[in-house]
Chain A
Amino acid sequence: MPTPIQWQIATLTAIKTETPTVKSFSLALPQWRPHRAGQHYDVRLTAPDGYQAQRSYSIASAPERAGTIDLGIERIADGEVSTYMHEVLVPGDQVEVRGPIGGYFVWEARQGGPLLLIGGGSGVVPLMSMLRHRHAARSSAPTRLRYSARTYDDLIYREELATLGADSGLEVILTLTRAQPPGWTGYSRRIDRAMLDEVARPLGRAPQVFICGPTLLVEAAANGLAQAGVPASRIRTERFGPSGA
């Protein structure tokens, strides 16, 4: 049965500042339906003269939470839509959205694991939907998240990831590539082949892999995993384009 996706007018209920450049926007949808973790919504802005701009933003929230979705949006310098979202919108405003969209970069708890999630910068947003869904579904599928950010302050969902890390079968591995706070015990270098080997090996020969973030980071990780022997058919990528900052 075809499932047309129609534009609907959502109401912004809350904005949460996650990092200096990333905010979560909670949107109440009149026609909400459960999404699959990893999907996105399209956001469309319309000026009074009819000019329109449209972007896609990943859903950060779990499908188990009904009625409202969280979109994770990074503010891009000179970004036409992201600067509007960050600087103009206030709770109570309306936003035109369409979705949920995507059938390729999605994970459902019933698929099980092992699961390897690799995120760079705002690429962690759709992976967070997967982890929140995994938590809500009480899945214990062996899962590793490897998340890289520039600095400690750039770690999105920092506290929640620390809490989720206690979930059965889940390990969260962080790396800060530009600057690390005193006492930092995580990684402190960019993704390289050795790191991928270390992170992937405990998950066996063929985990399901999802990689998301700036295009060049995604390519480096996908190539590295392919060289490490992970079958290409098990690797799904979501490139975000050039890195924003």
Chain B
Amino acid sequence: MAGDPFTINKAKVRELDFVLIKRHLKRTKGNLRYFGLPARDLLELRAWEEYFCHFSAVERGKGNNGFLEQHNLILTAMQYGLSDRLILLRGEMDEILSRGKDEFGTLVQYPFDVVSLDYSGGLLYKDSHGKSRRIQSIVQLFMQQADLDKDFLLFISSNLDNEDQGEVRLVLSDINRELAKMGIDANKIIQRILNHGAEEARLKVYTPYLIKSLADKWYRCEYNKPVFYKGNRQTRMTHFSFWLKRTSKYSSGKPTPSDLIDIINLPAFSCNDGVLTEEDFGIPRLTQIP
């Protein structure tokens, strides 16, 4: 089917995701369950097909004719023989996760082995009351998955149209303060991150910190290298991946200094024309002993 081309970069990102799926979930090949917002051509689902027995695919549909985008998604699923394994959830991802059902009452059928959240407007999107339904929905996801004792891979893709109301700065300042309490002077590095010209440099720290904090009550969070790339129509995109391992160990919900150092030092990839290169944004690594 024509339209919505999967760019070479995005294809590379999905390839990396598949490596992670194989690494963590090969044992249950054929029985995996997916939740997410797939590409319109379902390219990733088609590529991963042999690993999965279930796909819960979210399609919001834009504007008054949103039902046509949903129709086209089913059409693609029918053409590629995926429809029997596919549940279409109609509506906004955040709403669906928060309410546990879509606009038409179709329930989210937990648990999932792979959750792929694809956000436009960034992870920091907030409603008119300044509340982040996005964050609430992710917490809901963790709770539901933890209830069923499910380890899972979490992919978060987002463009850089963040509606940041100072939150990233606040979080980085918090990290700085926390480290200072432990006698670690990260001030210079944090300042460099804050003043860096690329938004990606800040999100590289902010997003893992956020996910770690949200998941900490139920999960041990392993980070993988985020990927920064250009998507459709040259949109700047970020892609994060996490392996969330269920733990019963009580946690305050706040990352330890060692976690914070890991997050600040987390290596990243930049992907151009499908080629991955290490990206440190010119920011030096933070060592434990200043």
A and B form one complex = no
